[in-house]
Structure 1
Amino acid sequence: MAHNPYATSAPPPLGGAQAMPGATPTGYPGMYPPQLGMGTLKPRLPKQPPLLKASLQTLYGTYGTVLDIVAHGNLRMRGQAFIVFENQDMATQALTATQGFPLFGKPMLVQYARTRSDATVKRELHADNTSDQTDVNVEEYKQQRREEKAQRDADRRAAIEWLTATMHYSAMVAAQGGPQPGDPNVPPHPTELPASVQTLLYPGMALTTPVNQAEQPNCILFLQKLTPEITEGDLKELFAKFDGFKEIRLVPGRSDIAFVEYEQEDQAVKVRTELTPDYEIRPDQIIRIDYAKR
């Protein structure tokens, strides 16, 4: 019999009557047709444990003055909370002491928050301003934070749109047997994207223009102007003959760029110097060799 999460268990109807197979029991609340199955209605769980804030206050109050505790109830933030201390020394002591502490049966992962809390900002501003001016400055801070979040969201959308366009273009090129001259669907080159979007696409090695790249040595080289005919084996054959070679890293969906990593920065500098920034890897086929941005 299939389990029905919406059915409730209940005793037989009054008078001891039993429902016949296939019949619909009537006249008694909580009974459902047999074809729906019988089960127990599970209680709806609260968004947050009812004693969460009180438990956190009791736990963290032993490590210093707690100015505020923020525990959101929405699904995205469920299981997270923010504890605001009077100063960083208190926060550091609490972080060290409660790392892995079992709360509600699960060990906690404790980290520093990435931004200052509203309570901290208001407390700092109140020391130098009247209460009215403090409220104004706090609202300005919140507005700035909202604008920064909006910019981060816009960068994420731009990165996703670029990746989607790149994958569609790569599939189209493969179906056509190669790129078509003057194709308007060619996505912009990564170096043409805003730096904030580059950072999302290439964490730790966001790209810059060739002029800026040449001035910032790195153990990772950034290759451009590659063609579909240049394989990973071709690149490895060229760069692996230099000391300190570690690996070739291709970029999914992009056949025109790649990264080459060496163990030390001076080894990568030597490679770029010997091959020159514009290296003819094949007759009439030039690739661009630059440093990846740190």
Structure 2
Amino acid sequence: MAEAMAVDEGHSSLPNPGHTIYCNNLPEKISQDDLKKAMRAIFGQFGPIMDVVSRRTYRLRGQAWVVFEKAEDAKRALELMQGFPFKDKPMRIALAKTKSDAVAKLDGTFKERPKAARPAKEKPAAEAKKAKVEAAAGAAPAAAAATAPATSNHILFVENLPDSANEAMVGMLFQQFAGFKEVRMVPSRPGIAFVEYSDEVQAGLALQGLQGFKLATDKPMSITFAKA
């Protein structure tokens, strides 16, 4: 895997890249969105994350780069999460050999890469795609408001967890959100848990952030406010 670690994908070849960890042996069939969401959920507990980089190309499947704001957070994540089971595969983690663009921009060493010019005939299609994305983004808040539960609570009810899930595994996901207090599993009913936050607002943010996340299973988590 040494060759893979040296790949420069979205990174600039500058020294002292200690803010970024390189993860491999990740599930290859997971979507890019789910993978990035999972990386933020797993590593967000160690400190603010500036960026998560992954690629769908055959050569880079099962790999990701996680960029922390602070180098010490990256080092701590590497030390404590080495071998963490993600979808039944132990992650292999190392410090990346290149500095990410996000860090280069922060310290003033970033150099813009020249972009290849697109043929004129592609511009209308690209503009149409951009307009479609913007329209969807504008509709999302309204749709979320329309489907939001009528009654909120500071405790979340989580379903569709893998039978092997325990309090530590579930807590690792939910404690990245402010106000996290505890996870309570139900021994007689595998696959469900209650997650408590300090207030309803914080619980709502966690619900939105992790709704549909897949934890070591192909079934997306279902999260609702616990009934009062």
Q: Between Structure 1 and Structure 2, whose CA radius of gyration is higher?
A: 1
TM class by shorter chain equals 0.3 to 0.5
TM-score by length of 2: 0.35
Greater strand share, structure number: 2
Q: Taking CA–CA contacts closer than 8 Å with sequence separation of 6 or more, which of the two structures ends up with the larger relative contact order?
A: 2
TM-score by length of 1: 0.28
